[in-house]
Amino acid sequence: MSEITFDWKPGIEEVCLKLKGKKRIGIQVPDGLKTKSHEIVTFVTKLTEAKVVLWGEPTYGACDLADRPLEEIGADALIHMGHLPMPYHSEFYAVPTFFVPVRHTGKLSLSKKAINELKKILPQKIGVVTTAQHLHMIDSAGKILEKEGFDTSVTTGGPRLAAAGQLLGCNSSAARKLNVDGYLYIGTGLFHPLTVALSTGKPVACLEPHNGTVTIADPRPFLKQRYAAMSVATNAKRWAILFSNQIGQKRIELADKIEELLIENGKETIMIGSMHQSHDQLLGLGIDAAVITACPRLAIEDGPTWPIPLLTVPETQILMGKRDPEPYPFDEFA
Ligand code: SF4
């Protein structure tokens, strides 16, 4: 297995060339790079001679930028690491914001054995999708697969996406836009390929790019868990509608609509806003169920650990009779 490390220095060096003369620079670092934070801050300080601060709130994507709080403390630039920009809100940053892509340095592992497994799972005409950390592997994977008889396609999704083949947990348009019969997902984790499987209804094979393991994205256990959460929420009386003020997760009008829908259905409601949402915010409020209008990953990945059901917007609409329960509607940000 090839070594998996994060390649962040070249991106920082490039960005720092644009930051000469800046006095105070804020840096956001995703969890996967947290242990490198001190090294990164020291490196940027040396290259720019600015006062550099690490922003301590978690960051999960280009959807939650620290540009506004950094403006409040007089920063004149933000370096956001690990995610690509979301083109649709790139004109609205409160301070100049620079994205440093971070990619895994491990080489693509696509052995003959893996290719044979892919042939068993996938039809000939496939789309190739991945996350920001593995975008650099798309071309080489495509070339190998074409030689093996696959017809591969890649495209750029909607305005939340910056690169061809890029998926977000809340947006699989780079898959949906393709006229293909199945998908290869290059990456780790099940969440992204599940969004593709659910939003397209087509087979999705997952290639773990560092060890070459091939699996199928099977949505059945996921669906069982989501319909169970909906079932538990059926008799909930008091609902919290959770919303975020973050630039790429803010859906306040949708939160208003969901509250109206719940009230129409005889529910008690309370709208709760925050940067990031957690069950602690609901303690003592007598809440029986919650719906999240911010990042839908929270409901899917953390929801099962909450003591009350945490539903996505489409799940709540199903429960309130506003939507068909099947096919399961993934909560996608446009
Ligand atoms: S899945 Fe959540 S964290 Fe990721 S980009 Fe979408 S809203 Fe942001």
Cβ of 292 below 6 Å from ligand 1: no
The three-state secondary structure class of 207 is strand
Classify residue 62: in a domain, yes or no.
yes
Classify residue 326: in a domain, yes or no.
no
Residues 193 and 257 in one domain: no
pLDDT number for residue 181: 98
Cβ of 330 below 6 Å from ligand 1: no
Residues 149 and 93 in one domain: no
Residues constituting the chain: 334
Give the total number of structural domains in the chain.
3
pLDDT number for residue 263: 98
pTM as predicted: 0.93
Cβ of 8 below 6 Å from ligand 1: no
Classify residue 129: in a domain, yes or no.
yes
Residues 119 and 85 in one domain: no
State the distance from the centre of ligand 1 to the C-alpha of 53, rounded, in angstroms. Answer: 24
Residues 186 and 240 in one domain: no
Atom of ligand 1 nearest to the CA of 294: 7
Residues 6 or more apart whose CB falls under 8 angstroms from that of 326 comprise none
Residue 44's domain comprises: 6-104
Phi, psi of 281 (to 5 degrees): -65, -20
Q: What's 166's DSSP letter?
A: B
The CATH number covering residue 232 comes to 3.40.50.11860
State the distance from the centre of ligand 1 to the C-alpha of 61, rounded, in angstroms. Answer: 6
Q: How far apart are CA 285 and CA 251, in angstroms?
A: 23
Q: How far apart are CA 168 and CA 22, in angstroms?
A: 32
Residues 132 and 186 in one domain: yes
Question: Which of 218, 241, 267 is a domain's end point?
Answer: 218
Classify residue 331: in a domain, yes or no.
no
Residues 240 and 312 in one domain: yes
pLDDT number for residue 1: 45
Give the residue whose CA is nearest to atom 6 of ligand 1.
170
Average pLDDT by stretches of 10, the chain with 334 residues: 69 95 97 93 97 96 96 97 93 95 85 96 98 93 97 97 96 97 96 95 95 95 96 98 96 98 98 96 98 96 96 98 95 91
pLDDT number for residue 195: 94
Give the residue whose CA is nearest to atom 2 of ligand 1.
295
Q: How far apart are CA 57 and CA 265, in angstroms?
A: 36
